[in-house]
Structure 1
Amino acid sequence: MNKVLYIKANAKTEGESRTFMISDSFVQEYKRQNQDDEIITLDLYKEGIGFLPVGQLNELHSPKPGEGKDHPILKYAFQFLEADKYIFAEPLWNLGVPAVLKAYIDYICVTGITFHYTKDGPEGLCTGKKAINITTRGGKYSDGPFKELEMGINT
């Protein structure tokens, strides 16, 4: 049995989000084909993910012994580490991902939980896991004057 973390980052509701229409359909088919897997849905807007609180950045660089899964910031890194697979679902807005997704990434990049430093530099601790990113966008960016602004596949 795998633990799949389904990370949703869109302020639109289920019925109006093209991203969620596609990603929810993907998740339903995944469940059908992988009935023993556990899907954990984390909707970043419903969760209320905000920017890192002032004065708490050090908690991400040096968690204190004993701080764990119930810590308001570190709990996301522990949840991410414990997952076997990831499904990210977000639109591209203003040529980038919603800020809430970047804020979430700040929450999960924690020294000693999801990565550590070696003599050769940082090294991830979430290795050998699979991820899929489902994203949508409006407008036409595949050719013409906006082609150079396409940030979904050119980054």
Structure 2
Amino acid sequence: MAKLLYISANPKGPTKSKGMQIGDAFLQSFLEARPDTEIRKIDLFDFDMARMDADLISARGKLAGYGKSFDDLTEQEKTKILKMHQLADEFIEYDYYVFVSPLWNLSSPAVLKTFLDNLFVTGKTFVHTANGPKGLLAGKIAIHIQTRGGLYTGMPMEDFESGDRYLKIALRFLGIEVLDSVIAEGLDAFPQKVPEIVAEAKVKAIAAAKEMAQESVEV
């Protein structure tokens, strides 16, 4: 059975978030094509995860760069690195990933960056080789559904958008295939057109879900 992890990063919740409404359309379409898929939803604004503080950075350095063992870590370092590794292990179990987030101040909400930080675990999700880092999550597929208040695609502001761009870079670094993002933009610039913008994005999301469902993954 295939497994899909749905990661949302919007404190508004599913009833007020335009992105999550589009995400629901995606999930419904995906399940119509792959009804046997196991789905788990994560709300990053209500999700316990390790954060990159002094303890976690120290623990990562000791284990990955300085040849130390787990027993050499402090109790705080042990607790935080175990939480990071647990999240990474759980993430690896899935075949499909759907990320839903808004564009805030040119990037994604900080909780999404924190979540991604937990996935960069040497030996689990990537390894260092003579030719540079190599992702270990090949055979998995992801997509990003993003809402934007302004207009960026094909506009002067396009180069300033770093939320969707960074997410794609991070996932591809880990070896994951990333499909074209579903973008709903202009929601603040054209409030009178919000229903139309959301409806158009749902159509794109439904099509993207069918495309993802047809992609083969290593189950």
Q: Is the 8 A contact 1:6 1:39 kept in 2?
A: yes
1:30 to 2:41 alignment: no
1:96 to 2:94 alignment: no
Q: Is the 8 A contact 2:144 2:164 kept in 1?
A: no
Q: 3-state DSSP class of the match of 2:122?
A: coil
CA apart distance, 1:135: 0.6
Runs of 5+ consecutive residues of structure 2 not aligned to the other structure: 71-77, 167-219
Output the CA distance in 2 between the equivalents of 1:14 and 1:49: 21
Scaled by the length of structure 1, what TM-score is found?
A: 0.84
RMSD between superposed Cα atoms in Å:
2.7
Q: Which of residues 95, 105, 124 in structure 2 aligns to 1:84? A: 95
> Higher relative CO (CA 8 A, sep ≥ 6), structure 1 or 2?
1
Q: 1:2 matched to which residue of 2?
A: 2
Q: Is the 8 A contact 2:88 2:124 kept in 1?
A: yes
CA apart distance, 1:13: 1.6
Q: 3-state DSSP class of the match of 1:116?
A: strand
Q: 3-state DSSP class of the match of 1:57?
A: helix
Output the CA distance in 2 between the equivalents of 1:32 and 1:144: 35
Q: Name the larger-Rg structure.
A: 2
Q: Is the 8 A contact 1:5 1:87 kept in 2?
A: yes
Output the CA distance in 1 between the equivalents of 2:161 and 2:83: 35
Q: 2:143 matched to which residue of 1?
A: 132
CA apart distance, 1:60: 4.0
1:123 to 2:163 alignment: no
Q: 2:123 matched to which residue of 1?
A: 112
Amino acid at match of 1:4: L
**How do 1:4-83 and structure 2 match up within 5 A?**
4-49=4-49, 51-60=51-60, 62=63, 71-83=82-94
Q: 3-state DSSP class of the match of 2:54?
A: coil
Q: Is the 8 A contact 1:60 1:109 kept in 2?
A: no
